[in-house]
C-alpha cells in the first residue's frame, strides 16, 4: 500500500476504473460472441439456399440449351459430336456423370470413349417431356433429366448428375471464411479491448494521479512550510491554488506566518528599542557604538559619545507621578532626536539617562556645539497636562579614541564626565579629562557622595501617607530618601541597593531608621498615636547582621514600640536565603511588622507568606496602574486581595493615582492605599499639615486629587 495520499488515491481509483472497464468489455464481448455465433449458421443456410436456387435455375436453363444442342447429334447418331458436347458442358457445369440415352432409355454414350454402359438401360427418374426438365436434389448431388428433342420429336434423353460438391465446398469455404473472419475480428476485438483498457486505464491513472497530486502537493507544501517555520525561518509564502479547504488552510498558514513575522519583528524591535520613547535601548546603543567605533577605525575618524542625565527628573517622577514623568521623558527624547544629526544616534539607557553617539567628528569643538544645543533644547519648558515643567540636563562628553579604547571604557568616561557636570552645578556639560576617571570610583563616588551627603545633611526623609481605605484615616507613612544634592528621591532600599560598601550600607540604614523613628515619635505625640512608619529595606540591608540591633536601637532611642515599625521587603528578599529568613525572624521577634513590597511581580510562594507571618502585602504599582483599564490587572488584584484576606494578611496598594483605581480597589476589599491620589511624599513637617487639611475632607475622598497644579522648579538651588 503506497504511503502517500497521492499513491493510495491513485491506486484505488485506477483499480476501480479498470475493474469497471473489464466488466464492461467482458459483457460486450460475450454479447458480441453470442450474436456472431447465431449469425454463422444463419448465414450458411441462407447461402446454401441461395446457391441451391441459383443452381436450380442454371441447371434448368442449361437443360433446354443442352437439349437443343444435343438433338441433331443424337438424332444423327454422331457419337463423336455428342462426346465433344459433353466435354464442353463439363467445363461449365460440375458434372459427375452425363448419360445420353436413346428414346428407349438405352445408353448411347456416357461421354467417355470406353462407354461401358452402352446399350444398357439407364434409369430415368421419370420421363421428362421436352421443355420440362426434372431436377432432383440430394445432399451430395443433383440429377437433371431432360428430353433431347424438340416439340414432339424425342431423339433420346439425357441424365446429368451434378455434384453438389461445389456447393459443399463453397459452404465449407464460406464457413471457413466466416470462422476465420470471426477469429480475426475477435482477435482484433480483443486487442482493441485490451488497448482501450490500457488506454483508459492509463488516462484514468494519469488523471487520478493529477487529482491526488493536486491534493497531496499542497499538503506537502504546507508540511514543508510548517517545518520551515519550526526551524525558525518564518519567511514562508504558500501558493493558494484553490478556493477550497486546502486554499483556506494555505491562506491561514500564510497569515499565521506573517503575524509571527510581525510579532518577531516587534520583539526584535522591542529588544532594540525603548518602549516608551522609541529610542534605541541599551542593547542597540551598545551595538551602534561598537559599529561606530569600528567605522571610525576604518576611516580614521573620531567618535563622540555624550552621556546625558536629566536633572531633577526624579523629583518630577516622585511628585507628579510616573505617568507625567513618562511624558516628560518622551518629550525630552523627541527633542534630543530632533536636535542631533541624522547620522548620530540617541539612545535611552534607562531611567533619565540618555546617550548620544556622534560619528564622523573631527574633534571636541564639534561636540561642544552639539552639547550646547542639546542643553538649550532640553531646558525649554515642557507643557504636559496643564503642568508647565522645566528641566535641565548634565552632559558628559568623551571622544574616541582619546578617552577610551572600548565602548565600555568610553561609556565609563562619559559617565564620569557627566557626574562632574552635575557636581559643578548641573545644566552643564563637562568634557572628560583623565583626572575624572578613577576606575574604582564609579561606584565609590556614589558611596562617597552619599557619605558626604549624610555628613553634610544633604539627605532627608520624605514621607508618603498610607491611608486606610474604609475609614480614610491615615494609618502609616512610608519613608523615602531624598538627596538634595543629586536632586534624587528614591526609596532608601533602591538607593542603597546600588551600594557595595557594607559599612556605608550600615550607616545609611542606621540613619534612615533613626531619622524615621524620630519623626514618627514626634507625630505620635502630636495627635497620631496609631501612626506607623514603613521603611523599605534592600536585601543587602536585610542580610546585614547588624540590622536587628540597628532597628532595636532606633526604636529604643525614639521610645517607640516595635510594632510601630513596618519593614517593607521585596518578594525576592525572601527567596531561599537563610540569612534573610533569620533576619526576618529576628525582626519579627522584636515585634516589627513585615510587609512585602511590589507584591505580584516577584517569586514568592503563598506558603512562605503564611509561614513568615507577613502582615501586609503591598500590591505592585504596575498592577494598580492598569487596574481600572485592564481586566486582567483587576482580576489579578482581586485574586491577590482575596488570597491575602483568606490568609489573614492585610493588603495595601501602591501608586494609587486615579479615582477609578481607588474605586476598584475599594470594591475589591483592599485595606490600605498609597499614592499620588492621596499625597506625594512630604517632608516630615508637612505631614501633619496634610493630615489636618485633608482629614477634614476625608469624607469627600476620593474626589480630591492631591496634586494641585503647581509650578515646580527642579533646578532650585
Partner 1 sequence: MVTARFLLVLGLLLGTGSAWTDASGGSPTPAGFRIGVISERSGAPSHAIAQYGPMLDYLQDALRHTEIAVSELAVAEHLEEMRGWIAAGQIDALFESLIPSLKLEIETARIRPRLLVWRKGQRVYRTLFFTRQDSPIRQLQDLRGRSLAVESARSTSAFFLPKLTLEAWGMHLRPEGSRRSPEDILYSFAGSELNQAYWVERGKADAGAFNDGDWTRTPRTLRKRLRIFHRTPPLLRYLLSFRTDLPASIREPVEAALLAMHKDAAGRGTLTRASRITRIEPFTDADRAQLETWRARLADRPH
Whichever of 108 and 490 has its CB closer to partner 1, that residue is 108
Q: Which is nearer to partner 1, 156 or 600 (CB)?
A: 156
Instruction: Please give the Cα distance from 536 to 403 (Å, whole number).
Output: 39
In the complex, what is the shortest distance from the CB of residue 84 to partner 1, in angstroms, rounded to a whole number? 10
Residue 114 vs 708, nearer CB to partner 1: 114
By beta-carbon proximity to partner 1, the closer residue of 83 and 413 is 83
* CA–CA separation, 50 and 29 (whole Å): 31
Contact indicator for 310, 332 with CB cutoff of 8 Å? yes
CA-angle at 99, arms to 95 and 105, nearest 5°: 150
CB of 149 to partner 1, least distance (A): 17
| C-beta of 83 vs 588, nearer to partner 1 | 83
Question: For residues 477 and 519, what is the distance between their CA atoms, to the nearest angstrom?
Answer: 10
- Which residues in the 493-552 window bind partner 1 by CB under 8 A? none
Nearer to partner 1, 78 or 557 (CB): 78
Which residue in this structure is represented by grid cell 507628579?
320
Handedness of CA 338, 342, 348, 349 (dihedral sign): negative
Name the residue nearer to partner 1 (CB basis): 79 or 643. Answer: 79
Interface with partner 1 in residues 299-358 (CB under 8 A): none
3 state SS of 535 = strand
> Quick one: cell of 63?
437443360
CB of 75 to partner 1, least distance (A): 11
User: Within positions 108 to 137, which residues make up the interface with partner 1, using CB under 8 A?
Assistant: 108, 113-119
Least Å from the CB of residue 109 to partner 1: 8
Do 398 and 420 touch, CB atoms closer than 8 A?
Answer: no
Measured from the CB atom, is 102 or 420 closer to partner 1?
A: 102
Within positions 35 to 94, which residues make up the interface with partner 1, using CB under 8 A? Answer: 77-81, 83
Output the smallest distance, CB 83 to partner 1, in A: 8
Do residues 391 and 427 lie in contact, with contact meaning Cβ atoms separated by under 8 Å? no
CB of 81 to partner 1, least distance (A): 7
CB of residue 104 to partner 1, shortest distance in Å: 12
Q: Element (H or E) spanning 10, and its range?
A: helix 5-75
Smallest gap, in angstroms, from Cβ of residue 99 to partner 1? 13
Distance in Å, CB of 89 to partner 1, minimum: 18
What does the alpha-carbon distance between residue 269 and residue 278 come to, in Å, rounded to a whole number?
A: 9
Cβ closest to partner 1, residue 114 vs residue 471: 114
Give the bridge partners for 163, in sequence order: 141
Interatomic CA distance for residues 652 and 674, integer angstroms = 7
Q: How far is the CB of 148 from partner 1 (least distance, A)?
A: 16
Pick the piece of the chain touching partner 1 (CB under 8 A) from 29-37, 107-115, 272-280, 702-710: 107-115
Task: Please state, in angstroms and rounded to a whole number, the distance separating the CA atoms of residues 651 and 670.
Answer: 6
DSSP label of 6:
H
Q: Which of 109, 91, 93 is nearest to 101 (CA)?
A: 109
Q: Which is nearer to partner 1, 115 or 137 (CB)?
A: 115
CA nearest to 123, candidates 88, 157, 74? 157
Nearest approach, Cβ of 118 to partner 1 (angstroms)? 4
Count residues near partner 1 (CB under 8 A): 14
Cβ at position 114, least distance to partner 1 in Å: 5
Query: Over 104-162, what HEC string results?
Result: CCEEEECCCCCCCCCCCECCCCCCCECCECEEEECCCEEEEEEEEEECCEEEEEEEEEE
Nearer to partner 1, 12 or 106 (CB): 106
Q: Helices 364-379 and 322-339 meet at what angle, rounded to 10?
A: 140
- Specify the residue, 57 or 80, whose C-beta has the smaller distance to partner 1: 80
Q: How far is the CB of 121 from partner 1 (least distance, A)?
A: 14
- In angstroms and rounded to an integer, the radius of gyration of the C-alpha atoms of the chain is 62
Q: Closer CB to partner 1, residue 102 or residue 437?
A: 102
Nearer Cβ to partner 1, position 1 or 113?
Answer: 113
Q: What gap in Å lies between CA 297 and CA 294, rounded to an integer?
A: 5
Q: Are residues 464 and 477 in contact, defined by beta-carbon separation less than 8 angstroms? A: yes
Nearer Cβ to partner 1 (107/357): 107
Q: What pairs with residue 653 in β-bridges?
A: 619, 673
Cα gap 383→195, rounded to integer Å = 92
In terms of Cα–Cα distance, which of 461, 437, 455 is closest to 687?
A: 461
701: DSSP letter: T
Cβ proximity of 64 and 131 under 8 Å = yes
**Site for partner 1 contains 104 (CB under 8 A):** no
Nearer to partner 1, 114 or 439 (CB): 114
Buried b (16+ CB within 10 A) or exposed e, 611-634: ebebbbbbbbbebbbebbeeeebb
Are 101 and 159 contacting, i.e. CB atoms less than 8 angstroms apart?
A: yes
Cβ 112 to partner 1 shortest distance, Å: 8
What is the DSSP code string of 337-362?
Answer: HHHS-TT-EEEEEETTEEEEEEEEE-
Contacts of 221 (CB under 8 A, 6+ apart): 238, 239, 250
Distance between CA 110 and CA 118 in Å, rounded? 8
**Cα torsion through 32, 34, 38, 41, rounded to 10:** 100
For residue 32, the minimal CB distance to partner 1 (Å) is 58
Query: What's the min distance (Å) between Cβ of 113 and partner 1?
Result: 6
Contacting positions for partner 1 (CB under 8 A): 77-81, 83, 108, 113-119
Amino acid at each position: 500500500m503506497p504511503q502517500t495520499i497521492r499513491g493510495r488515491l491513485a491506486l484505488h481509483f485506477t483499480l476501480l476504473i479498470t475493474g469497471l472497464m473489464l466488466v464492461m468489455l467482458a459483457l460486450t464481448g460475450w454479447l458480441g460472441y453470442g450474436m456472431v455465433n447465431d449469425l454463422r449458421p444463419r448465414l450458411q443456410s441462407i447461402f446454401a439456399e441461395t446457391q441451391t436456387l441459383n443452381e436450380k435455375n442454371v441447371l434448368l436453363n442449361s437443360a433446354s440449351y443442352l437439349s437443343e444442342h444435343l438433338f441433331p447429334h443424337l438424332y444423327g447418331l454422331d457419337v463423336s459430336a455428342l462426346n465433344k458436347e459433353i466435354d464442353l458442358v463439363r467445363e461449365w457445369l460440375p458434372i459427375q456423370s452425363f448419360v445420353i440415352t436413346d428414346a428407349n432409355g438405352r445408353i448411347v454414350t456416357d461421354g467417355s470413349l470406353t462407354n461401358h454402359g452402352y446399350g444398357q438401360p439407364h434409369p430415368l427418374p421419370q420421363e421428362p417431356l421436352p421443355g420440362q426438365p426434372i431436377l432432383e436434389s440430394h445432399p451430395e448431388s443433383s440429377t437433371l433429366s431432360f428430353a433431347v428433342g424438340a416439340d414432339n420429336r424425342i431423339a433420346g434423353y439425357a441424365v446429368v448428375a451434378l455434384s453438389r460438391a461445389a456447393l459443399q465446398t463453397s459452404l465449407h469455404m464460406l464457413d471457413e471464411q466466416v470462422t476465420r473472419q470471426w477469429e480475426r475480428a475477435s482477435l482484433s476485438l480483443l486487442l482493441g479491448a485490451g488497448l482501450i483498457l490500457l488506454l483508459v486505464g492509463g488516462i484514468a491513472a494519469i488523471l487520478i494521479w493529477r487529482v491526488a497530486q493536486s491534493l497531496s502537493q499542497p499538503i506537502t507544501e504546507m508540511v514543508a512550510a510548517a517545518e520551515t517555520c519550526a526551524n525558525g525561518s518564518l519567511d514562508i509564502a504558500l501558493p493558494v491554488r484553490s478556493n477550497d479547504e486546502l486554499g483556506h488552510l494555505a491562506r491561514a498558514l500564510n497569515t499565521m506566518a506573517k503575524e509571527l513575522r510581525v510579532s518577531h519583528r516587534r520583539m526584535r524591535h522591542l529588544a532594540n528599542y525603548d518602549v516608551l520613547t522609541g529610542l534605541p535601548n541599551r542593547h542597540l546603543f551598545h551595538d551602534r557604538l561598537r559599529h561606530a567605533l569600528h567605522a571610525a577605525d576604518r576611516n580614521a575618524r573620531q567618535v563622540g559619545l555624550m552621556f546625558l542625565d536629566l536633572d531633577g527628573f526624579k523629583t518630577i517622577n516622585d511628585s507628579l507621578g510616573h505617568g507625567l514623568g513618562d511624558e516628560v521623558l518622551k518629550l525630552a527624547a523627541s527633542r534630543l532626536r530632533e536636535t542631533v544629526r541624522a547620522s548620530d544616534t540617541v539612545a535611552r539607557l534607562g531611567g533619565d539617562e540618555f546617550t548620544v553617539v556622534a560619528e564622523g567628528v573631527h574633534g571636541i569643538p564639534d561636540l561642544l556645539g552639539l552639547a550646547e544645543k542639546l542643553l538649550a533644547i532640553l531646558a525649554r519648558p515642557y507643557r504636559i497636562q496643564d503642568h508647565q515643567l522645566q528641566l535641565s540636563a548634565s552632559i558628559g562628553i568623551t571622544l574616541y579614541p582619546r578617552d577610551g579604547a572600548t565602548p565600555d571604557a568610553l561609556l565609563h568616561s562619559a559617565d564620569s564626565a557627566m557626574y562632574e557636570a552635575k557636581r559643578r552645578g548641573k545644566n552643564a556639560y563637562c568634557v572628560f579629562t583623565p583626572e575624572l576617571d578613577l576606575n574604582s570610583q564609579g561606584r565609590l563616588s556614589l558611596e562617597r557622595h552619599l557619605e558626604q551627603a549624610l555628613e553634610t545633611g544633604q539627605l532627608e526623609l520624605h514621607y508618603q501617607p498610607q491611608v486606610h481605605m474604609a475609614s480614610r484615616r491615615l494609618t502609616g507613612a512610608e519613608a523615602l530618601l531624598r538627596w538634595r544634592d543629586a536632586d534624587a528621591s528614591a526609596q532608601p532600599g533602591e538607593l542603597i541597593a546600588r551600594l557595595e560598601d557594607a559599612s556605608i550600607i550600615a550607616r545609611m540604614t542606621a540613619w534612615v531608621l533613626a531619622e524615621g523613628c524620630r519623626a514618627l515619635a514626634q507625630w505620635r505625640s502630636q495627635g497620631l498615636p496609631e501612626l506607623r512608619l514603613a521603611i523599605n529595606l534592600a536585601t543587602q540591608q536585610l542580610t546585614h547582621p547588624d540590622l536587628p540591633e540597628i532597628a532595636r536601637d532606633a526604636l529604643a532611642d525614639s521610645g517607640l514600640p516595635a510594632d510601630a515599625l513596618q519593614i517593607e521587603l521585596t518578594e525576592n528578599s525572601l527567596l531561599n536565603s537563610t540569612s534573610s529568613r533569620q533576619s526576618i525572624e529576628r525582626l519579627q521577634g522584636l515585634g516589627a511588622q513585615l510587609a512585602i513590597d511590589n507584591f505580584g511581580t516577584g517569586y514568592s510562594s503563598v506558603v512562605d507568606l503564611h509561614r513568615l507571618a507577613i502582615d501586609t502585602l503591598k500590591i505592585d504599582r504596575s498592577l494598580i496602574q492598569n487596574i481600572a483599564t485592564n481586566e486582567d490587572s483587576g482580576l489579578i488584584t482581586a485574586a491577590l486581595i482575596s488570597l491575602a484576606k483568606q490568609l489573614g494578611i492585610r493588603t495595601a496598594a501602591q501608586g494609587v493615582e486615579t479615582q477609578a483605581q481607588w474605586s476598584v480597589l475599594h470594591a475589591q476589599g483592599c485595606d490600605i492605599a498609597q499614592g499620588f491620589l492621596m499625597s506625594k511624599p512630604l517632608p516630615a513637617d508637612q505631614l501633619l499639615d496634610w493630615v489636618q487639611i485633608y482629614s477634614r475632607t476625608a469624607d469627600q475622598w476620593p474626589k480630591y486629587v492631591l496634586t494641585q497644579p503647581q509650578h515646580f522648579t527642579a533646578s532650585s538651588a
